[in-house]
Structure formats: structure tokens, C-alpha cells
């Protein structure tokens, strides 16, 4: 039988937003992250991390470094009794400086590629699953995949204060720690449109919304 999952954005949601990270450190996780993941596991959810790592395409970190960081993160969680089913990331960016990774990719959020791959591989029921992140692209990736979505206020979350459609989530999930309660309430988000977004972010945050009407 298909299982429900929580797909977690990495930077600014699960761990502190620190730009490109080439080495793991224990204080990278938000203090509430491990207890929250344990709670979500106890609720029966599979846990996945899905992350845009365009820093690879920009030549700021290597895939070997990212993979090592993810192994350390997985081990840190396992040591605290939290089983992470998997971490997937997209190393691509259409304007990257590393030719090998310079391209459009359906795995790059707001694309739903990573979520769909994981759902197929692990027999996940996307309609009963959640995508949580600090950026509208996380919400849009979740919606494209057919999950429920949650926007947190940590990381880049504050940059979305002017996004009118954000309010329902911000009120209920100022951090990841609020997610189990939000899920328990089975609150579902109202429809959003890409055109409503007004990202002021740095970090390669895309503003080409006109091409992606929803």
C-alpha cells in the first residue's frame, strides 16, 4: 500500500540557511528539527529531503562535497533515531558556470521532478503527502507534484511577507516545528498562482514567473 511522505526542503527549512555548505557541522540543524522529524515519523510519514543545489552549477561546491554533507546529515539523524528515507538534490542551473551542470532541469524546484522520482521509487501517495519549504518554489513544486504544501517563516521565508497567498501558511507554520500540528489539522492550502509571487531574494531566486503561469 502506498505510503504518505513529507518532502522537506533543506536550507532554511531543516537546516540553517548558510549559503553553499561544503562540510557538515552539528549545529547546522535547527534545534527543533530532529524532534520534529521524529514526530513526523511517528505519524507514519516517510521522510525525504529535496533540495536545489545550484551552487554545484556555479562551481561553489562539488557533488562529492554535497554528497558527503548529506551522508553526515543522514548519519546525524540516524544517531538520534530518525530514519531519513533519502536525500535528492538538483545540481543544475540554466546559467551555471560549470558546463556539465548548466541546463534547465525538471528536478530543479519549482519543477516536481525530484518528488515524482521519489514517489515512484518508494511507492509514495503524493495526494496524502506534504512538501514543506521556506520558498515559494517549494510550495509550487509540491503543488505541481500534487502534494499538500507548507511554507515556513525561517530561512528565506521572510522574503515572502508581501506574497498575499502566503498568509495561510505563515500563520500556521512559522517554523518546521509547527508542521506536525498543521498536518494533524489537515488544513489544505488555497490555490495560488505563480503570478502572485514577488520574490525579492538573492541566491539565484528566479523572477521569470511570466513564463510559468499556473
Cite the active site residues.
9, 11
Q: Starting from the edge strand earliest in sequence, which strands make up the sheet with 46-52, in order?
A: 86-90, 46-52, 5-8, 130-133, 148-151
9 contributes a contact to Mg ion by CB under 5 A: yes
Give Cα 182 distance to the centre of its chain: 17
DSSP 8-state code for residue 191: P
Residues 119-138, mask of contacts with Mg ion (x by CB under 5 A): ---------------x----
When CB distances are held under 5 to 8 angstroms depending on the partner's kind, the choice from Zn ion, Mg ion, none that residue 107 binds is Zn ion
Cα–Cα distance between 7 and 18 in angstroms, integer? 20
Q: What is the rounded (10 degree) CA torsion for 208, 18, 126, 185?
A: -110
Q: In the set 98, 105, 177, 205, which binds Zn ion (CB under 5 A)?
A: 105
Interface pick for Mg ion out of 11, 28, 77, 169 (rule CB under 5 A): 11
Strands, E assignment, 20-75: 46-52
Q: Dihedrals φ, ψ of 17, to 5°? A: -75, 110
Q: 12 touches which of Zn ion, Mg ion, none (CB within 5 to 8 A by kind)?
A: Mg ion
Which CB, 52 or 154, lies closer to Zn ion?
52
Residue 92 in the binding site for Zn ion (CB under 5 A): yes
90 near Zn ion, rule: CB under 5 A: yes
Contact present, 7 and 115 (Cβ < 8 Å): yes
Q: Among Zn ion, Mg ion, none, what binds residue 8 when CB lies within 5 to 8 Å by partner kind?
A: none
Task: Give the residues lining the site for Mg ion (CB under 5 A).
Answer: 9, 11-12, 134, 155
Task: Give the residues lining the site for Zn ion (CB under 5 A).
Answer: 90, 92, 105, 107
Amino acid at each position: 500500500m502506498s505510503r504518505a511522505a513529507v518532502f522537506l526542503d533543506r536550507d532554511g527549512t531543516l537546516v540553517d540557511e548558510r549559503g553553499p555548505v561544503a562540510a557538515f557541522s552539528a549545529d547546522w540543524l535547527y534545534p527543533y528539527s530532529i524532534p520534529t522529524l521524529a514526530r513526523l515519523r511517528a505519524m507514519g510519514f516517510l521522510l525525504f529531503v529535496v533540495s536545489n543545489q545550484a551552487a554545484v552549477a556555479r562551481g561553489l561546491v562539488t557533488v562529492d562535497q554535497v554528497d558527503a554533507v548529506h551522508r553526515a546529515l543522514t548519519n546525524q539523524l540516524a544517531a538520534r533515531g530518525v530514519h531519513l528515507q533519502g536525500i535528492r538534490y538538483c545540481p543544475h542551473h540554466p546559467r551555471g558556470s560549470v558546463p556539465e551542470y548548466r541546463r534547465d532541469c525538471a528536478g530543479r524546484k519549482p519543477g516536481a521532478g525530484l518528488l515524482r522520482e521519489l514517489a515512484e521509487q518508494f511507492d509514495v501517495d503524493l495526494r496524502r503527502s506534504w512538501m514543506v519549504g521556506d520558498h515559494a518554489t517549494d510550495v509550487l513544486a509540491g503543488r505541481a507534484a500534487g502534494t499538500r504544501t507548507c511554507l515556513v517563516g525561517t530561512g528565506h521565508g521572510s522574503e515572502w511577507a508581501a506574497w498575499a497567498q502566503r498568509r495561510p501558511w505563515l500563520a500556521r507554520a512559522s517554523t518546521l516545528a509547527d508542521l506536525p500540528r498543521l498536518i494533524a489539522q489537515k488544513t489544505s492550502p488555497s490555490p495560488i498562482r505563480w503570478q502572485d509571487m514577488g520574490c525579492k531574494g538573492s541566491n539565484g531566486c528566479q523572477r521569470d514567473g511570466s513564463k510559468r503561469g499556473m
